[in-house]
Amino acid sequence: MSSTCECFCRMIRLLVTVALLSGCRASEYEYLAWNTPVYGKSPQCVDIPDDLRLCHNVGYNRMMLPNLLEHETMAEVKQQASSWVPLVHKNCHPDTQVFLCSLFAPVCLERPIYPCRWMCEAVRDGCAPIMEAFGFPWPEMLTCDKFPEGEVCIAMTTPNATEVTKPTGYSPICPPCDNEMKTDTILEHLCASEFALKAKIKEVKRENTDRKVILQKKKKMLKPGNLKKKDTKKLVLYLKNGADCPCQQLDNLGNQYLIMGRKVDKQYLLTGIHKWNKSSREFKNAIKKMKTYKCPVFENVFK
């Protein structure tokens, strides 16, 4: 067994027979085809491109196309998968990348292997609260009931585990309060938002399970989105389910902040807050890119 295949087999512990994996050589991936057609278009084994950021380092180098989400072209895979990269960066569950890539970029085997239902449920339970904080529900296309429960499936952590070990770098802070001064992090928050502005905070109140953030009147609009000028005068944002999680930015109301948000139902959600720091090169670079940066289209995915 080649080192590439051995690494992959060890990493995602495919629950298939020893006979299937024992002859697994990297060169064979080029010729494998699924015996049972599940698409109108015949599946092909192709290289995972470097710019498929979600899966280019997942542990194997080739994938089946069309994939298990019925994306037929690599362009469509890249466009849809790019929306999920920020969620993987949030470290909400150690299996998030493997779970998503098993669907977006399935490994080349003789038949499609789906993620186990309990793996989906574990990732959903860890990551859905993060998505909800940004106003996105767990999408229908990832409904866990669709995936196998007692059949051959992809698994990582132990099923029915009562506690998941948090990965290195995990932080319990409110997701929008990640104040890491890196250009990519700030732009990821921007892409989960509809508008961005510079302002000070007047008052913070607890309201049920949320935190209500009231801004001072003076604001500088950086990215208006659909936000009308009249809406900015008495703009109130809500930190969704953030009544108890730490948010250092909301402890000091004397600073200027880059504040990002989006409208969900009738509320404006706080989706990102970063201290306005002119001395940070990364921060200044993010502000400079803000007007021209092209974000993934989240609406096409999180629905």
What CA–CA distances, in Å, run from 179 to 85, 105, 255, 273, 301? 18, 31, 13, 7, 26
Pair 275, 248: CB distance under 8 Å: no
- β-bridge pairing 267-275 and 236-239: parallel
Q: What is the C-alpha separation between 58 and 55, in angstroms, rounded?
A: 5
Residue 47 dihedral angles phi and psi, to the nearest 5°: -70, 145
For residue 275, count other CB atoms closer than 10 A to its CB: 15
Report all structural domains of the chain as residue ranges with CATH numbers, in order of start: 3-146 (1.10.2000.10), 175-295 (2.40.50.120)
Amino acid 232: pLDDT: 84
Each residue's pLDDT expressed in tens, for the chain with a length of 303 residues: 334 334 443 343 333 322 233 233 332 222 233 334 444 567 899 999 999 999 988 889 999 999 999 999 999 999 899 889 888 988 889 999 999 999 999 999 888 899 999 999 999 999 998 898 888 899 999 999 999 987 789 887 555 543 444 444 444 678 888 877 888 888 888 888 899 999 999 999 999 999 999 999 889 999 888 888 888 888 899 999 899 889 988 988 889 999 999 999 889 999 999 999 989 999 999 999 887 888 766 544 443
- β-bridge pairing 236-239 and 62-65: unpaired
CA 94 centroid distance within chain: 12
Amino acid 126: pLDDT: 92
Which residues have a Cβ under 8 Å from the Cβ of 281 and sit 6 or more positions away?
none
pTM summary value: 0.69
On the question of a cis peptide bond just before residue 66, with omega within 30 degrees of 0, the verdict is yes
Q: What is the C-alpha separation between 160 and 162, in angstroms, rounded?
A: 6
Amino acid 41: pLDDT: 65
Amino acid 172: pLDDT: 62
> What residue has token string 């997701």?
175
Amino acid 20: pLDDT: 31
